[in-house]
Amino acid sequence: MIALAGQLIFFLNPYDFTWMVGSCVLRAIGLAPLNAAVFGMIGDVVEFGQWKTHIRQESLIFAGGSIGTKVGAGLASAIMTGMLSAAGYISSSEGSAVQPESALNCIVTIYKFGPVIVAGIAVITLALYKLDKKYSSVMEELMAREARGEL
């Protein structure tokens, strides 16, 4: 929610550099705990999967998380590149190209709405994440199974 608020603050003055940096700092403060906890949450999924299916699939689940991160970053880059191309962005190695107004508007639009979409998806996903409530009973049952020599 802090990250989303930081991004929404950016909407108030999107062309002011200082305002943008301030909103980035607030957004980073909000995203830091999620970035730190996400692979721990994937570990919880390993335990849940073993509890549910009696099969422990650590490698598959962590590989899926890693590949999902890579594919997601690649798709996001491809989508943004396509949007910029459609807006007439001019690529120049010298940095002397003057971008058309449509490309500049596209850059601002991506920067405004991209993080809002990502933060919105994160808020919805975390609201639907119910494993924390079940986790202690899942772990108790897994320890009992292990004591009996079961998976």
Inter-residue contact 32 to 44 (CB < 8 Å): no
The predicted structure's pLDDT at residue 115: 86
Inter-residue contact 121 to 129 (CB < 8 Å): no
Q: List the domain boundaries for the chain.
A: 2-148
The predicted structure's pLDDT at residue 125: 87
Mean pLDDT of successive 10-residue stretches along the chain, which has 151 residues: 87 89 91 85 92 94 94 95 95 81 93 86 87 92 93 79
Rounded Cα distance between 128 and 120, Å, is 12
The predicted structure's pLDDT at residue 14: 85
Three-class DSSP category at 7: helix
Residue given tokens 């980035």 in the structure block = 24
Rounded Cα distance between 48 and 56, Å, is 9
The predicted structure's pLDDT at residue 132: 86
The predicted-structure confidence for 34-57, as pLDDT tens digits, reads as follows 888 888 889 899 999 999 999 999
Inter-residue contact 72 to 38 (CB < 8 Å): no
Q: What is the reported pTM?
A: 0.74
The predicted structure's pLDDT at residue 35: 83
